[in-house]
Amino acid sequence: MSETIESLKCLIIGSGPAGYTAAIYAARANMNPVLYQGTQPGGQLTTTNEVENFPGYPEGVTGPEMMLELKAQAERFGSDVRDGWITKVDFSGDIHKVWVNGTKEIHCETVIISTGASAKYLGLESEQKYLKLGGGVSACAVCDGFFYRNQEVVIVGAGDSACEEAHYLSKLCSKVTMLVRRDVFRASKIMANRVINTENIDIMFNTETVEVIGDGQLVTGVKVRNNKTGSEVDIEATGFFVAIGHKPNTDIFKDFLKLDETGYIINEPGTSKTNIPGVFVSGDAADHVYRQAVTAAGTGCMAALDAERYLAAKEV
């Protein structure tokens, strides 16, 4: 075997709550895990200012701070956390092959995929500005809706997830304005009727976002345009929620792993196992329902335990 090829018991692809939790459990099981952090070390939570719903933080914690603590905990038990990202995989044989940054080749007995999913945004300059500032733009109502209690917010989207998030926000916020690009919902009738029949949800059909308005630090409103008449209006709001879907970061696995129509990895129910023995999945790369830090951490634990049992069975 070439000296340039590294052999590992356990490779974890991606960081965030799922990847770091998998590393903690794998390290404690003497699997000597190596974790590559990917293009966004710490995952989506590094873009979140306040996390108040993760157990063990009674006063809350910032997303970046929590990820640094999870990383430190993984390293404490001996996890090898590295910079870099996986650019190619080959899961066709008993030994799983991956390439780092397009050059370094690694052979792995087990692989845990924790690459997550990326929220889709409208791509407006003003939207991205306030997203980076943490001043009122979010793609997760369950994560951030709490910060907008008794305030007026705007949400963009027309599918089941958008309706679910709008309904969730309606329980916290004084008013929710829902922007729907077409003249109908894409959501199921039951979900659409739920928001239609909610008193403090105002639905604007044939409406697109022109600009997220703010004072340079915080969102103060949203400029929208009716795509039938061309008329524009400003809506006062302190929060702007985008619910137009997520894209799982799984493209490099599509030639080997079973994915659903959206690109989420299909796991064996009740486990983290994929269709390839020795390859496991955790976090938002497979979860399109809950998408929470605590559930991602739980599946990271599952993946490490499944990988440990897989290795133990091979030794018998």
> Domains (ranges, CATH) in the chain?
5-118+246-315 (3.50.50.60), 121-242 (3.50.50.60)
Percent of the chain with pLDDT over 70: 98
Task: Determine contact, residues 204/180, Cβ cutoff 8 Å.
Answer: yes
| Helix, strand, coil distribution of the chain in percent, nearest 5 | 30, 30, 40
Q: Which pair of tokens denotes residue 95?
A: 């030994």
State both tokens at 258: 């079973």
Over 60: is that where the pLDDT of 143 sits? yes
pLDDT for 158 beyond 90: yes
pLDDT band at 114 (very low <50, low <70, confident <90, very high): very high
Residue 2 or residue 248, greater confidence: 248
Task: Residue 216: name the closest of 135, 145, 276 by CA.
Answer: 135
Task: Identify the pLDDT of residue 205.
Answer: 98
Residue 308 has pLDDT above 90, yes or no: yes
Tell me what pLDDT residue 1 has.
42
Residue-level pLDDT at 4: 84
Nearest C-alpha neighbor of 266 from the set 244, 250, 278: 250
Looking at the DSSP assignment, which residues form a beta bridge with residue 219?
214
What confidence score (pLDDT) does residue 234 get? 98
Distance set, CA 76 to CA 72, 129, 265, 287 (Å): 6, 36, 30, 28
Q: Residues with catalytic annotation? A: 140, 143-144
Q: Kind and range of the H or E element at 189?
A: helix 189-196
pLDDT of residue 45: 77
Containing 155, the helix (H) or strand (E) segment is strand 152-156
**Which carries the bigger pLDDT value, residue 10 or residue 94?**
10
pLDDT tens string 34-92: 999 987 777 777 766 678 889 999 998 988 899 999 999 999 999 999 999 999 999 99
pLDDT of residue 2: 47
Mean pLDDT of all residues in 167-183: 97
- Interval 280-299: pLDDT, tens: 999 999 998 888 899 999 99
Q: How far apart are CA 219 and CA 213, in angstroms?
A: 6
For the stretch 54-68, pLDDT in tens is 999 999 898 889 999
The alpha carbon torsion through 150, 156, 161, 164 (nearest 10 deg) reads: 30
User: Is 3's pLDDT higher than 60?
Assistant: no
pTM reported for the whole predicted model:
0.81
What does the mean pLDDT of the chain come to? 94
- Average pLDDT score over residue span 154-174: 95
Mean pLDDT of 248-267: 96
- 3-state SS, residue 313: helix
The whole-number pLDDT of residue 65 equals: 92
The residue with tokens 């938002």 is: 284
User: Is residue 231 very low, low, confident or very high in pLDDT (cuts 50, 70, 90)?
Assistant: very high
pLDDT value at residue 106: 97
